[in-house]
Amino acid sequence: MKIGVFVSVVAGQKGFENNVSGHIQVPLRSIEELRKAGHEVHLITNEFGPDRSLPFCLDKDMDIHFVSDSRDRKGILERKSRQGKGISKFKLLRQVKEIKRICKNQNLDVLHLYGYNRTAHLAGGLKLFGLKTPVFVTIFGTFFPERFSFLTQRLWNRIDGIFTATDYVKNNLKAEGLKVKQIKHGVIRDLVEENEGATVKPKHRVLFWRDMTVENGADVALAAYENLATSYPEIEFTFAVRPHWAPIEGVDEIASKYDNITVHYFPYKSGITMPKLLMESFCVVMPIRRMSIDPQLVIAETLATGIPVIATDQRSNPEFIVEGETGFLVPIGDIDATTKALDAILSDTANAIEMGNKAKADIASRWNWNSYAVELVEAYNTVLL
């Protein structure tokens, strides 16, 4: 089968080729699984300028087709336009024509798009403007109610098949009257394998590894760290973060007051890697306020590494964290609950290690790639046959 996979933005800011967002990781791994199953896959993505580059994880022999980018988005270290803004109608029409041309010239059997609501609108628009190739969409997260829903609903209904990985997104789509098939995928990064046999010290830390923002709950993690730092002087309370355009303030000042609160900024110093930091951790603190994708891959990757997670009780998080067994779920923005959960883990580190073992086994059994490609192709065939 000849399959086209559209991902709006694959290229990232130069210097961040190993820092690949989940909405890119999932389709790239999907392509890999489909190719391993014997299918011919073509990646379709937006063109990019000299300030961006393709991720290192992209196969060098991949068939890639570039189309016009209808959006105005900036780099990782800056954000001068909002995600929902900056659409050029002229560029969008050109993009539609170019995707249609690729589908025809490459004689694709199906076109599979990965993204959010606007990606679904593009998929429906392609059908509206005469694309004959069956179109499928994998939805990472939903944003309802939609503006101009009386129009966008018609675009959604033109899609030949809608997929998602989590119950949370599936239920949101069904609530809008849309037919959706749940196809679970696995974890992309194997952080133990990435460590490549490097020396790992015995567990002695707690880790936060997201952008240092209010949206990610960095302020909650910082407060919990400060609450417990003196109670557990043998524990290193660690932030491992990359530069961001809107970080919380006061982190370095608080870290300077405590010998066991440390901050590592990407690119990390020699000898410091994310797999090493993670494998030396009793748990990861991830009190995210605003999730960008379901599932939040950083949570799944941490659990799959065998590390319990403290995360917010929202959206798809309860589908991954088994409360009290593989981690803890806390209310959004609740410093006291986060502190208590972290204290519970650090007060019984032997149990924390056992929680991590359970987490690794649980994720491996429920979230894997074993049948992903097969389920996708079966869904394609319901339209093709």
Domains and CATH numbers, the chain: 2-185+369-384 (3.40.50.2000), 191-366 (3.40.50.2000)
Check residues 364 and 197 and name the one with the higher pLDDT. 364
Instruction: Report the 10 Å Cβ neighbour count for 379.
Output: 19
**Average pLDDT value for residue range 129-134:** 97
157-183 pLDDT, tens per residue?
999 999 999 999 999 999 999 999 999
pLDDT band for 77, please (50, 70, 90 cuts).
very low
Given a cut of 50, whether residue 131 has pLDDT beyond it is yes
φ, ψ dihedrals at 10, nearest 5°: -105, -40
Alpha helix positions (H), the chain: 22-36, 89-105, 117-128, 149-158, 167-175, 191-194, 218-228, 251-257, 274-279, 297-305, 335-346, 349-366, 372-384
- CA-to-CA distance for 313 and 352, rounded, in angstroms? 20
233-283 pLDDT, tens per residue?
999 999 999 888 999 999 999 999 999 999 999 889 988 999 999 999 999
What is the edge-to-edge ordering of all strands in the sheet holding 327-330? 261-265, 236-241, 205-208, 281-286, 309-312, 327-330
Q: What is the pLDDT of residue 52?
A: 79
Given a cut of 90, whether residue 195 has pLDDT beyond it is no
To the nearest 10°, report the CA torsion of 324, 189, 210, 350. Answer: 30
Predicted model pTM: 0.92
**Average pLDDT value for residue range 213-233:** 98
Pairing of strands 40-46, 181-182: unpaired
105-124 pLDDT, tens per residue?
999 999 999 999 999 999 99
- CA-to-CA distance for 355 and 342, rounded, in angstroms? 13
Residue 57 per-residue DSSP state: T
Check residues 149 and 285 and name the one with the higher pLDDT. 285
- CA-to-CA distance for 40 and 60, rounded, in angstroms? 15
Residues in the chain: 385
Q: What is the pLDDT of residue 371?
A: 97
Residue 75, CA distances (Å) to 46, 53, 72 in order = 15, 11, 10
> Which helix (H) or strand (E) segment is 163 a member of?
strand 161-164
**Average pLDDT value for residue range 134-149:** 94
pLDDT band for 10, please (50, 70, 90 cuts).
confident
309-328 pLDDT, tens per residue?
999 999 999 999 999 999 99
* Displacement of CA 95 from its chain's centroid (Å): 25
pLDDT band for 27, please (50, 70, 90 cuts).
very high
Given a cut of 70, whether residue 86 has pLDDT beyond it is no
Instruction: Report yes or no: 138 and 113 within 8 Å, Cβ to Cβ.
Output: yes
**Average pLDDT value for residue range 121-129:** 96
In the predicted model, what is the mean pLDDT of the chain? 92
Instruction: Report the 10 Å Cβ neighbour count for 265.
Output: 14
* Displacement of CA 143 from its chain's centroid (Å): 16
Residue 193, CA distances (Å) to 189, 226, 282 in order = 9, 32, 19
Tokens of 266: 């990407």
30-68 pLDDT, tens per residue?
999 999 999 999 999 999 888 877 777 787 788 999 999
Instruction: Report yes or no: 323 and 311 within 8 Å, Cβ to Cβ.
Output: no
- CA-to-CA distance for 309 and 158, rounded, in angstroms? 40
